[in-house]
Structure 1
Amino acid sequence: MKKKFILLSGLATSLLLSGCWDINEAQRMYYVDGLGIDYKDGQYEIYLQLINFTNVAKSEYPNPQTVPAEVGQAKGKTLEEALFKLFRSIDQKVFWGHMTFIIFSEEALKDKNALSIIDTVLRYRETRYQIWTYCTQDSIKDILLLTPILNKSLISSKLSTPLDTDDQETFVEPVNFRNLVIGLNEPNHEIGIPYVTINKNWETAEQQGQDTTFIGVGVLSKSGFKGLIKNDAARGMQWMHNRTHRGEITFKLDGDETDFLTVTLEKIKVDIEPLVKNNQVTFEVVVKLNATLNGLKTNVSEDEIRKKIIKEVKKEIRTTYKEALAKDIDIYRLSEHLYRKNVKVWKRLEKDGKIPLTPSSISKLEIDVNQVNSGRKTFTGTFND
């Protein structure tokens, strides 16, 4: 009787257990890696990049016979409507928890609902704040269909893992959704989103290759899109924050018109100090850095190299600042520096989180070259004439 009671009790208990009936099997789901959003003719146009599950576990050596990704496309009056239209053509559950990046077209950022798009993405329970954010003027579909160099898996692409190349050069600082929300919520209520374009300077024996490259930023504010700063006009940004790991600068040496030198700049440290006088605010900027020579054509002194570096870095910082002012952009977040160090003055002067800026607002720009490393050799040429 006792054994019978134990058996019945065990059976009743097992029936009450929920088990794993509602679990989703990994091979029965599609995985989103990237999302593209465009805005045309009053409608949102979305591009959903689904990565091949077969290659996710083989990021180093993917199977060349498998398709790395497929890109779906749909339109709608809202972002959600476009997504639901796309869901109708998908035959398995879509998992968003591994989405690594989102690309906005310039038109999507210009639209007054750009901030609501960001809010929509963040409110969904599967998305995360680590999603990288980009903008472009190129075809979003073409960008999402690119295969990384040497046929690597898409989860190793520059868009999915922008920090992998950060130690080589930090021309444009990567921005994720966390940075985006903070930048828009705190003074100066503007944020620079990396501007991505298609680069065609790679090729194989069979065909020309393509990959993505960052050449500037698109600046978004709470009031809307403020414009693009790119190419040489964007170079000054890398010298104005401490997160730059490494960058290069090229300048002409005295003498021959074709005699140029490229120097690597590292260990950037920036100090911005606001000064208040007669209800006017100016900023004193001190940039400290180390330099390493990459090669020499002629003999050159350390003093000459220092002077050239200082001159060129100052020029690039001023050029970017001037370009941004023309678009009413506080590119170096000077308003935030005043907010952090003298909030009373900031409250008195600010309008919509920003303080008035002029070309003379940076009253002092000092570049300190701590070290000039000549590499394995001295400042004399390796080969004698």
Structure 2
Amino acid sequence: MRFLKLSLCSLLLLLTVLLSGCWDQYELRELSVVTGLGIDLVDDETIRLTIQVINPSELASQEEGTGRSSAQNYETFAPTIQEAFRKLTEKAPRRGYYSHIASVVIGESAARAGLTNFLDHFYRDHEIRTDFPIVIARGYEAKEILSVIPPIEEIASIHIMNSISYGENSYSLVTATTLDDLFEKIVGPGIDPYLNGITINGDETVSKQIANVEEVKPIAFLQLGDMAIFREDQLVGWLTEEETKGLLYLTGNIQDTSETLPCPHGQEGSFVVETYSTKTTMDINYEGDELNVNIDPEIHGTISEVNCEQLDITSKESHAYIHDALEQKINELISETLARARDEHVDFTGIGREVYREQPTYWKTIRQDWYEAFTQANIEVHTEGNVVESGDVNNTFNIEDYKHDH
């Protein structure tokens, strides 16, 4: 028995020799934590990669800071993304750690050249996660966006991530698109990508200086805005605010937003419906070469503000008017978006994907000429609005009526 125990212990000791352990480990003090990346196209053969690295000692300081920036930006130039990453060792004193990337910014010229030229490496590299949001710099290079010192968040790349997260849940012009989402739309049949745009609002020069955050009103700030639209992987244009709203209603990606609607009977003023739930279905059918598409958004909302003297929201007549006004507004927004997609000969609406899913046989006959078929399709939008609440009160208070009653 004793011999058996000794033999077993010896075997276990020998097996530990075969264990590799943490052969590729790096101590934290040997790493630079990368929170943001910027990609710009300098010329046909050169990429500028901007790498934003946090300064942990400055962020963690409990006392007055040292005056150093909370982040440093390093720029490298190379013909490929992989080589640009490797060249970071020429400038940065530590190895880059890429598992905490908060956002990636792509310059407008690089986006027009084609996204797959730059994003292939991100999917292949096992050290890089793919759940970070991607935005397109409008009117600026990516390096300029990452150089802005935000007024609240201390690091531009983290500011972008948090702004997208908040905006997606609070307004309809922002939607988080990760690398996984983008890849699915680029390679998927019948759909083109769209990405949030970002720009600098204010004095670009001051935006890079600490003086930008020393004022109550920031001199410059980063602003998420117009949606970038693509044909396959190449940027072709930008949607307006109304077109962006229409797109997100059409695709059912609106979580919480507001619509300002006119008062009834031609009276001055307006009322606001906060939409909090959207579900959009599409019905696809064809007769011969004629494609018919019925888009049916179902919108749920609540009245959040009333500035109408003659809108009694407790009456059936007013209730019907509210529903009709909301449905008409959503129909108009979606129609504007569809018209823009047809004019650009792109399909970021996803209608082609629904044709592929619902009518695969028909899709095989028109997939090579889908953009032309899309422009010729009969598309109808029928919104169903359902406004069920009015907040904590029913009708708005009227000062003159209040004085008269008392």
- The TM-score, its normalising length taken from structure 1, stands at 0.85
Q: Distance in 2 between matches of 1:298 and 1:62?
A: 53
Describe the SS at the equivalent of 1:358: helix
Q: Distance in 2 between matches of 1:308 and 1:48?
A: 48
Q: Contact (CA 8 Å) 2:345, 2:371: kept in 1 or not?
A: no
- The one-letter amino acid of 1:365's match is V
CA spacing shift, 1:118–1:381, aligned 2, 3 Å: same
Give the aligned partner of residue 164 of structure 2.
162
Give the aligned partner of residue 326 of structure 2.
309
Q: Contact (CA 8 Å) 2:177, 2:195: kept in 1 or not?
A: yes
Q: How far off its partner does 1:255 sit?
A: 5.7
Q: Contact (CA 8 Å) 1:298, 1:381: kept in 2 or not?
A: no
Give the aligned partner of residue 125 of structure 2.
124
CA spacing shift, 1:192–1:93, aligned 2, 3 Å: same
Q: How does 1:160-239 map to 2 (within 5 A)?
A: 162-199=164-201, 205=215, 208=218, 210-222=220-232, 224-239=234-249
Give the aligned partner of residue 143 of structure 1.
145
Q: How far off its partner does 1:258 sit?
A: 5.1
1:147-184 Cα deviation digits (max 9, x unpaired) = 44434566752325733443222423211111111111
Q: 2:50 aligns with which of 47, 51, 56?
A: 47
Q: Contact (CA 8 Å) 1:335, 1:355: kept in 2 or not?
A: no
- The one-letter amino acid of 2:392's match is R
CA spacing shift, 1:354–1:328, aligned 2, 3 Å: closer
Q: How far off its partner does 1:331 sit?
A: 2.6
Describe the SS at the equivalent of 1:294: strand
Q: 1:245 aligns with which of 229, 251, 255?
A: 255
Q: How far off its partner does 1:271 sit?
A: 0.8
CA spacing shift, 1:160–1:55, aligned 2, 3 Å: farther
Give the aligned partner of residue 283 of structure 1.
293
Q: Distance in 2 between matches of 1:367 and 1:120?
A: 42
Give the aligned partner of residue 32 of structure 1.
34
Q: Distance in 1 between matches of 2:21 and 2:381?
A: 66
Is 1:320 the counterpart of 2:337? The answer is: yes
CA spacing shift, 1:235–1:64, aligned 2, 3 Å: farther
Q: How does 1:103-118 map to 2 (within 5 A)?
A: 103-112=105-114, 114-118=115-119
CA spacing shift, 1:15–1:181, aligned 2, 3 Å: closer
Give the aligned partner of residue 390 of structure 2.
374
Question: For this pair of structures, how many residues does the alignment match?
Answer: 375
Range that drifts further, 236-245 or 375-384: 375-384
Q: How far off its partner does 1:355 sit?
A: 6.5
Q: Contact (CA 8 Å) 1:106, 1:136: kept in 2 or not?
A: yes
Percent identity, aligned pairs only, is 18
Q: Distance in 1 between matches of 2:158 and 2:104?
A: 15
Q: Distance in 1 between matches of 2:363 and 2:331?
A: 27
Q: How far off its partner does 1:198 sit?
A: 2.7
Is 1:365 the counterpart of 2:377? The answer is: no
Q: 1:351 aligns with which of 368, 384, 389?
A: 368
Describe the SS at the equivalent of 2:253: coil
- The one-letter amino acid of 2:384's match is D
CA spacing shift, 1:376–1:145, aligned 2, 3 Å: same
Q: How far off its partner does 1:39 sit?
A: 0.9
- The one-letter amino acid of 1:334's match is I
Describe the SS at the equivalent of 1:350: helix
Describe the SS at the equivalent of 2:299: strand
Give the aligned partner of residue 306 of structure 2.
296
CA spacing shift, 1:328–1:84, aligned 2, 3 Å: same
Describe the SS at the equivalent of 2:261: strand
CA spacing shift, 1:162–1:172, aligned 2, 3 Å: closer
Segments of structure 2 that go 5 or more residues without pairing to the other structure are 1-5, 204-211, 312-317, 402-406
Q: Distance in 2 between matches of 1:76 and 1:24?
A: 26
